[in-house]
Chains A and B, each alone.
With several copies, the nearest count.
Chain A
């Protein structure tokens, strides 16, 4: 969330020494800010691998991982696996949002729907998507449908719970204000409920997508025939530990990009701009 970017400095720069100012400017550079935190981790990783303190059969260093990356790209496997994973994710997330968003608002807003579905919602969200797989496979086979189902299942619940919580937190007063300004139910919904619950909805989308991504990997491991999750599973079977590590990095990077390029700017432009969430003032 936006919330995670530091607020632009409001203090007069004139009072800060030049060197520190330079440091601040450097640190504020998006690339430094984004990649900086990974540097220590890369170093530790590299050091652990270099000392050979961990059995190399189960642990790959940055060099080997890079090698496997270039090799897989050269062979064309990486692009094709990536494409498969992304396609599945797109289907899963697409349907997940399509189902979860409207359903979430219906449950949040209609006391009947809430009564009838809330306990079921809680019940089913605990049942692991992957617990469904054995049965899904019998129904849908080793198909895109099974994988999509698992992702949808994972995306929908946090989304719905997030929406319900968000709607509950919309001040009643604002609904009243809109009603007395002539907004009908539908308008109240779009003009008040949606934006008012947006911080929680955005958080639900973020959590849902993040875990949907996880579900994809889990599903590919279990019903996999291609994709990044399958690549990791297959590499593990084959003892190619560097590909397992590579898989994790690819997953992380992709999700990071999705989050940083789409979700975060969206949140910055809405809930933060509106002052609904804000970065806390630094404790001084």
Chain B
């Protein structure tokens, strides 16, 4: 059984005021096996965040099935950790408070919480900022905090919405590498939304390419690169470039979203 199954998923947003409906997801079907890392790529506005929100249980879908561990999704839960495109930090909590939030919810004792938080903050390069509030962080730092807040929980399923979008190339490289290591060690199931093709190929076991809105699955690419992966070795693998070129062409075909529903 796949950890995550998305069958014939459709979603239309309804505008309560005009009564208009906007088809966001045309028809999407794919699945993610246990311990698999799947990236979703697609033009801006095609519905990636929408799919992720549905899997997370934040919004309802119009048609189709979404199963997590074989069960229909009903609302959010701690089995699925979410990294938000818009960070969604708690403004009233310090960096430390944000990072330890999930552990507190699980009832992890304070000392342990803080130890785990220290490790993860070190990892994302936020050590020393424990007592700051989110509004005192730069955009990239906020994004890293959002990432740390989920990583520290070690959820079985991770849903990540462009977690590295606002981070500089160097830090990003490092974090991609770190995420790979974490993934290879713990083997969570990962649903990863990105618009960076290199990143998708480097991190994933499979890459789902979506068409423009209303999105359908344009192609699913199996990434057959050996693990453990490191940037240094992976980029030298000729298949890496093959994959990225292939995807680039696949995506280049679709024009960016330019027509409303």
Contact = CB atoms under 8 A, between A and B. Distances in A.
Contacts of A165: none
Contacts of B86: 173
A43 interface: no
B82 A195 contact: no
Interface in A189-217: 191-192, 195-196, 198
Interface in B156-182: none
Interface string B88-125: 11111000000001100110000000000000000000
Interface residues of B, number: 38
Contacts of A281: 58-59
Nearest to B19: A8
Interface string A254-284: 0000000000000000110111100001011
Given A8-B14, A181-B149, A182-B78, A273 B90 contact: no
A174 B88 contact: yes
Which of the four size classes fits the interface of chain A?
Answer: 20 to 34
Nearest to A195: B92
A176 B88 contact: yes
Contacts of A21: none
Contact of B76 (A10, A179, A191, A275): A179
A178 interface: yes
Contact of B101 (A14, A172, A181, A284): A181
B81 interface: yes
A12 B62 contact: yes
A29 interface: no
Given A7-B16, A173-B84, A283-B75, A275 B90 contact: no
A183 interface: yes
B22 to A, nearest CB: 12
Contacts of B56: 176, 180
B59 to A, nearest CB: 8
A7 B14 CA distance: 11
A177 interface: yes
B155 to A, nearest CB: 8
A183 B14 contact: no
Interface of A: 7-8, 10-12, 14, 171-174, 176-184, 187, 191-192, 195-196, 198, 270-271, 273-276, 281, 283-284
Given A14-B63, A180-B56, A181-B102, 6 more contacts: A7-B16, A12-B62, A172-B58, A173-B84, A177-B82, A191-B101
For the complex of A and B, list the 8 residue pairs with the smallest distance between their C-beta atoms, beginning with the closest: A182-B78, A284-B75, A275-B135, A179-B76, A182-B105, A181-B102, A195-B92, A180-B76
Interface of B: 13-14, 16-17, 56-63, 74-78, 80-82, 84, 86, 88-92, 101-102, 105-106, 133-136, 149-150, 153
